[in-house]
Amino acid sequence: MGNPTGFLHVNRTLPEDRDPKARLIDWQEVHDHMPTAEIEKQASRCMDCGVPFCQSAESDYAPAVAGCPVNNLIPEWNDLIYKGRWKDAIQLLHKTNNFPEFTGRVCPAPCEGACVLGINADPVTIKHHEVAIIDRAFKEGWVVANPPHKRTGKNVAVVGSGPAGLAAAAQLNKAGHMVTVFERADRIGGLLMYGIPNMKLQKEIVQRRVDILADEGIVFVTNTEIGKDISSEQIEKDFDAVILCIGATVPRDLPTEGRELNGIHFAMEFLTANTKSLLDSNHADGKYINAEGKNVIVIGGGDTGTDCVGTSLRHNCNSVTQLEIMPQPPEERADNNPWPEWPKRLLVDYGQEESIAVQGHDPRDYLIMTKRIEGDENGNVKAVHTVEIEWQRTPEGQMIPKEIAGSEKVHPADIVLLAMGFMGPEGGLVEQFGLEKDPRSNIKAEYDKFATSKPGIFAAGDGRRGQSLIVWAIDEGRRAAREVDTYLMGKSYLP
C-alpha cells in the first residue's frame, strides 16, 4: 500500500451530513461532500492486511459473515485513491461493480463490517470511497457508453429492472446479446426508482445510468407486465433465454384486530406513491399518502421503516413513532458477535437523526408488540394499542415473545405504515412459467447456477434468494448473466 502506516495516525472521518432540520424542506441527498485531499488521506488508512476480508462474501454464510458480495477490489482502489490515480480507480471499480453510484449510496457496507482494521479500531471508510470514485468519474466524463463491437444474434428477456435485472442486462449486453428489459412500472429502476426515497438516492442518478445502458443497446420496455400485457408463452417464444428478476415484493402483513381500517398502508405503497408524485408533479397532483399534520406509527425497525420516518417528517407530520418487536442492539459489538460477522450495533440513521432534531427524541421503541388497532366511527384508524414484551426460549429452543403485564400503551395514530419485511415474489408469473418454488415461496434456482426447473428460464435477485441487499442483487444479476451466456454460447468470458 502507498502508506503502510496510515491507519496508525489518521482517524476515520466521514463527510458531515446536512443539517437535519434544513434538509427536511427538500428531497435532496442527506450527505455533503468531502474535499478530495481528505478522501485521499482517508484512503491511506487501508492496511496491507494480508487477507482482505472486506472484498469477499460467501453466499452460504451471508448475512452473518460480512464482506463485499461483488468482490470489489477494495485495497487496490483505496491505494489508487491515495496516489491520486482516480481514473485508474474507476476502471478497477467497474470490473466488479456495474453500479457503484447505487451501492456507494444505499448499501449498508458489509465490506466495512469485515475490514481488518475494524477488529480493534474504526474501519476504513470504504463505502464513501466507492461513491467518491464514481462521482468523480461522472464529473470528469470518464463514464461513457461502450456498446459491444459485434452481436451474437441471441435475444434475452430480463423481467424486472431492479438492481439484479439491470446488472444481468448490462453483462449480457457486453457479451453481445440483444437484451430487452421489461418493467411494469412507468419508469426503469424497480427498487432503485420507487423503493428508495430521493434523499437516499436521487432519481437523476438512476436515470443517468439507465440512459448509458440504453445507449449501449439495451432495450427498455415500461408499463408492461409479463403475464398480463404479454403472456409467458409469448416471451418464451420470442426470446432465446429469460431471466426473472422480479424481486420479493409481497409485504409481510399484520394480522391484528383493526387491520381493515382506513389509514393503514404497506410501507412500499406509501414510499412508491410519494416518489412517483414527487417525480411527476413535485407533489402537486396530490396522488400520494400525505402525512402532513398527522400522527404516524411505523411498525418495523429496518431500513424501510426508517425511510417511512424520513418521508413522514418531510411531509411535516405531527409526530412519528417507529415500533420494533426486537430488542435494542448494543452500542458496540457483543461478545457473541465477533469480527468478521456483520456488526449488530445500534445505529442512528438519517430518519432517526431527523426525528431527534424535530421531535427531540429517537422515534424507535423496542420490544413492542401491536395488540390491536382502534378506529373511529367512520372506519378510520384512531390509535394503536401496544404491549411491551420479552423474548423467552421454549423447552424446544424456540424464542417466543411474552407480554409484560401492565405495560399496555395507546399511541394516537392517523396513519399506520407496515414495514415488516417481505415474504417473496408475487404470485401469478411464477405459476404461469410453471416453475418450482423453494420452501420460502421463492423461485427455486441454485445460487451460482440460477437455472430454474424449466430450461432457458433463469432467476436472480430477491425473487430467488429472498429479501436481501442491493449489492447481493447486483452479484446475482452478474452471475446469472454468465450462466445465461454459457447456456446460449456453450461457454462464457463474463466475470
Same domain, 401 and 260: yes
Which helix (H) or strand (E) element contains residue 440? Answer: none
User: Which of 366, 388, 420 lies at the terminal end of a domain, its last residue?
Assistant: 420
Asked, for residue 147, whether it belongs to a domain, the answer is: no
User: Which of 105, 140, 175 lies at the terminal end of a domain, its last residue?
Assistant: 140
Same domain, 17 and 126: yes
Asked, for residue 428, whether it belongs to a domain, the answer is: no
What range does the domain containing 272 cover?
A: 253-420
* Residues in contact with 315: Cβ distance below 8 Å, sequence separation at least 6, in sequence order: 290, 291, 292
| Entry pTM | 0.96
Q: What three-state secondary structure class fits 323?
A: strand
Asked, for residue 87, whether it belongs to a domain, the answer is: yes
Same domain, 209 and 324: no
Same domain, 394 and 329: yes
CA-based nearest residue to 91, from 81, 82, 106, 105: 81
Across 353-449, the runs of DSSP E, i.e. the strands, are 364-366, 368-375, 381-393, 399-403, 409-412, 415-418, 422-424
Asked, for residue 27, whether it belongs to a domain, the answer is: yes
Asked, for residue 426, whether it belongs to a domain, the answer is: no
- Which residue reads 440460477 in cell numbers? 450
The Cα angle at residue 205 between residues 14 and 219, in degrees rounded to 5:
145
> Is cis: bond before 495, omega within 30 of 0?
no
440-to-13, 64, 420, 423, 479 alpha-carbon distances in Å: 41, 19, 16, 8, 22
Asked, for residue 105, whether it belongs to a domain, the answer is: yes
Same domain, 17 and 112: yes
**Would you call 18 exposed, middle or buried from its count of C-beta atoms within 10 A (0-12, 13-18, 19+)?**
middle
Asked, for residue 429, whether it belongs to a domain, the answer is: no
CATH code assigned at 42: 1.10.1060.10
Burial annotation 427-450 (CB, 10 A radius, 16+ → b, else e): eebbeebebebeeeebbbbeeeeb
Whole-angstrom distance, CA of residue 18 vs CA of residue 23: 6
Same domain, 191 and 64: no
- Which residue reads 418464451 in cell numbers? 236
pLDDT of residue 4: 87
Same domain, 273 and 384: yes
Reading the block at residue 42, the C-alpha cell is 482517508
> Is cis: bond before 327, omega within 30 of 0?
no
Same domain, 336 and 402: yes
Same domain, 37 and 122: yes
- Listed as ranges, residues in the chain with pLDDT below 70 are 1, 62-63
Reading the block at residue 81, the C-alpha cell is 485513491
Same domain, 36 and 121: yes
List phi, psi (to 5°) of 324: -130, 130
Same domain, 289 and 196: no
Whole-angstrom distance, CA of residue 254 vs CA of residue 382: 17
Domains: count for the chain: 3
Asked, for residue 398, whether it belongs to a domain, the answer is: yes
Cβ atoms of 447 and 475 within 8 Å: the answer is no
- Within 13 Å of residue 377, how many CA atoms lie on the same side as its CB? 0
Q: Are strands 399-403 and 241-244 parallel, antiparallel or unpaired?
A: unpaired
pLDDT of residue 186: 98
Cβ atoms of 278 and 494 within 8 Å: the answer is no
* Residues in contact with 348: Cβ distance below 8 Å, sequence separation at least 6, in sequence order: 356, 362
Whole-angstrom distance, CA of residue 204 vs CA of residue 29: 12
> Which conformational region is residue 424 in: left (phi greater than 0), alpha (psi within -120 to 50 degrees), or beta?
left
**Would you call 473 exposed, middle or buried from its count of C-beta atoms within 10 A (0-12, 13-18, 19+)?**
buried
Same domain, 40 and 120: yes
Which residues are 390's β-sheet partners? 402
Whole-angstrom distance, CA of residue 393 vs CA of residue 402: 10
CATH code assigned at 178: 3.50.50.60
Cβ atoms of 33 and 310 within 8 Å: the answer is no
Reading the block at residue 53, the C-alpha cell is 476480508
Cβ atoms of 30 and 350 within 8 Å: the answer is yes
